[in-house]
Structure 1
Amino acid sequence: MKKWSIAAVLYLAAVIGGYSVYAKWFADEKQTESHGHNQSVSYGASTSQEQSEPHGESQGHSVQGEVNKSGHQHGSGTALEGSSEVSVFLQSDQDELKIFLKDKSGNPVEDLEVNHEKLLHLIVVDDQLHKYYHLHPEQTGKGEFTIGNSLPDGFYKAFVDIKPKSLAYHVAPVPFIVGNPGMSTHSHGLQPDKTLSKNVDGETVKLTMSSFKANEPVKLTFDLDKTKLTPYLGAMGHVVILDENAQNFLHVHPANDKDTVFETQFEKPGIYKIWAEFKQNGKVRAFPFVVEIK
């Protein structure tokens, strides 16, 4: 009898602990929704082992910014809140991730521009900002995109990067859960890198920044072996940036077709994580950098 009582107490503690983690991870999203990001999410359990290929390992970066009309930068920021005309719904089940795009009347949004060879780019990060995935779901219906779900159990945020032809859209985080993640501190504890040089699978990339100050233009210059470099998704590289709370998103492309130089701007001081993606020798690698903006 005592054993059953102890087991019941332990189970109850686990349930309460798991709920506390869940509530903490999604607390910021309630504030985001109240600010008018106009995005929502459906949740489901997923234990599928079918892997959607990630373009990198645990990596991240952060920034706030506005959408660049030239197409070199797509992002979200406080200045853009409340102006999106497209809602994103994400449903996770044991086999798939499904994304549904709706306008303000609830109709499917299907009139999208091809953006760097794809209609939709899906960026997924975990709650620690360690895992990073750049995925490309296939269109499976009107305003519907699907991809196999092979993410490990955990708490995640998705960022759906699209270019509707006639509707305003700004990227905002969509939180979701895979499987039974259990306990997590949701404390990534990002620390700025002491040296901005990373080696992934034998390839080295060095980052030079023209400025570490907020509210001024900054050039991100990446030094790498260009003899092995080939275009990836219509560009010589891709950079994704997130703030340390995974609230503000930037997807930046090179300033021109030849150089691995990216232009952006950090709207607020803070710690940011940057993923720089390059295709060398036929393989896409994501190089993670953490920087502090003052």
Structure 2
Amino acid sequence: MILRSLCLAAVLVLALAAPASAHNVTAGADLRIAQTIAGAEITVVIKGTSRVPGPLRIGVIAYQPVSGLPVGLEVRSVEDGRTVTGTAQAAAEPAYTQLRVERTGPHELKLSAGGEVAVVPFRVLVERGSMGDFLIYGGLFMAAMLLVGGLLTGATARTGRAMALAAGAAAGVTVAAMVIVFEPGLPPPAPDGAAPTTATPAAGGRPYAQARVETAPARPGAGEEFTLRLDLMDGSTGRPVDDLAVHHEALAHVVVTSEDGRYFRHVHPLRTAPGHLEVKLSTDRPGRYLVHAELEREDSGGQLVTADFTVGGEARASAEPDASAEAGAAEDRGAAEDTSAAEDGGAAATPRLQPVAPVAGRPATIELDTPAGVRPWLGMTGHLIVRSQDGAFLGHVHEMGTPGSRLRFTFSFPTSGRYLAWIQYATGDRIVTEPFTVDVTAAEVRR
């Protein structure tokens, strides 16, 4: 009877295993989330934990000089409200702050720096033993017990019973062997603390979020700090969208550019409440600005939200270097130098295109030489962001190789015309932005 149960359980484990989700978070894996806070670009790293109660280590990686920016940490269990606090120092090679968590499941990490606050949802996950392990060890244990019983029975000259026990031992070994062979091809069981799965997911996944983009104040002035806000709502329920998937180490990637492309910011807004994201910005030039926000809901596809806003007042001298201040000159020469490198006395970097005049709809290769010490940012070695001159199109691709002496991208421009482009990569103490322009020719019409 026991052997029949083991065999039936083995068949069920192999036949009814659920497919893995595209956004499953593995127990023990680190969670990395980029944030633009207190004027700095940081990545918060929540190290995976192996047990609860147990330690939870949190570090803050700085990608710009921040002079030891202190970041307040507060971890709260959503289920019982238990809270622990600490402080982390943002640095290129941070020391990790160790807190203590008492249970698995949903938690919130509140970050405080420079008068700004972000609330990052995450789950404490711990691996659980699989049914396969139970069947393997259970089958081997039963085989050993039956084998010993068979030997003892055979010693008393009860041959029939000994043979039956030996057959049972063989069946136990067979069950264990079958699970050992097939279990590696099955998805792992959901860890303790994982979100409950939906038995019948909606056809086609969840709908895109409806977004409202605004600034506070409504018409910011040149040279003044303002807040860019994104409010996300589910159109089918009217509720705030609070199920954004972490993609490329961020809940959302927001690109803000001036109409002429001379102003460029790639930032990662703070989640301040369910469905509410915001980031502080400033610009020294009046005019129209374009917003492109990349985000993705769980069980849904990637989404690009677009909007614009107007900055009033008169142009002012900027106190900080504009990463794309040379973009206007780049329109005349096809490339621009990195202003941070120029300020440090470094040589200008010029992207190389192949073909030199890309053809619409055909892949083009873009390469850029980089200095030593390039490190991954947002999970990638380099980023290429491309915008059509009128702002109607935005593309974002990556260099996914290991850091080296150059970045290499492949990109297909959808239509002919002029495009504004920016290559970004991280070094030991800053994020470098290389602006340039590309003139794309139309494909020949075949007759």
Does the residue aligned with 1:201 lie in a helix, a strand or coil? helix
User: Alignment partner for residue 214 of structure 1, among 360, 364, 387?
Assistant: 360
User: Alignment partner for residue 215 of structure 2, among 88, 92, 106?
Assistant: 92
- Work out whether 1:252 is the aligned partner of 2:397: yes
Letter in 2 for 1:174: A
- Work out whether 1:223 is the aligned partner of 2:369: yes
- Work out whether 1:155 is the aligned partner of 2:301: no
Deviation for aligned residue 1:281: 3.6
User: Alignment partner for residue 282 of structure 1, among 420, 429, 438?
Assistant: 429
Contact 2:334 / 2:438 at 8 angstroms: preserved in 1? no
Alignment of structure 1 residues 1-294 onto 2, 5 Å: 52=39, 85-94=208-217, 95-105=226-236, 106-152=238-284, 153-180=286-313, 192-194=331-333, 196=335, 198-202=337-341, 203=346, 204-211=348-355, 212-225=358-371, 227-258=372-403, 260-294=407-441
Deviation for aligned residue 1:126: 1.1
Instruction: Quote the sequence identity (%).
Output: 22
Letter in 2 for 1:247: A
Letter in 1 for 2:351: L
User: Within 2, Cα distance between the matches of 1:89 and 1:286?
Assistant: 28
Deviations 1:134-160 (A, max 9, x none): 111110111111222433443211111
Deviation for aligned residue 1:189: 8.2
Does the residue aligned with 2:420 lie in a helix, a strand or coil? strand
Q: 1:51 to 1:92 in 2, by over 3 A?
A: farther
User: Within 2, Cα distance between the matches of 1:169 and 1:117?
Assistant: 14
User: Within 1, Cα distance between the matches of 2:410 and 2:393?
Assistant: 17
Letter in 1 for 2:416: P
User: Within 2, Cα distance between the matches of 1:130 and 1:179?
Assistant: 16
Deviation for aligned residue 1:265: 0.7
User: Within 1, Cα distance between the matches of 2:350 and 2:370?
Assistant: 7
Contact 2:334 / 2:436 at 8 angstroms: preserved in 1? no
User: Within 1, Cα distance between the matches of 2:282 and 2:334?
Assistant: 33
Between Structure 1 and Structure 2, whose CA radius of gyration is higher?
2
**TM, length-normalised to structure 2:** 0.43
List alignment gaps of at least 5 residues for structure 2.
1-36, 42-62, 64-206, 218-225, 316-326, 442-447
Contact 1:238 / 1:254 at 8 angstroms: preserved in 2? yes
**TM, length-normalised to structure 1:** 0.64
Quote the RMSD (CA, aligned, Å).
Answer: 2.9
Deviation for aligned residue 1:193: 4.5
User: Within 1, Cα distance between the matches of 2:334 and 2:208?
Assistant: 41
The residue that corresponds to 1:69 in the other structure is none
Letter in 1 for 2:209: V
User: Within 2, Cα distance between the matches of 1:53 and 1:154?
Assistant: 25
User: Within 1, Cα distance between the matches of 2:247 and 2:332?
Assistant: 31
| Length, aligned pairs only | 212
User: Within 1, Cα distance between the matches of 2:289 and 2:233?
Assistant: 22
Contact 1:255 / 1:263 at 8 angstroms: preserved in 2? no
User: Within 1, Cα distance between the matches of 2:304 and 2:366?
Assistant: 22
User: Within 1, Cα distance between the matches of 2:240 and 2:302?
Assistant: 14
The residue that corresponds to 1:13 in the other structure is none
User: Within 2, Cα distance between the matches of 1:216 and 1:278?
Assistant: 25
Deviation for aligned residue 1:127: 1.9
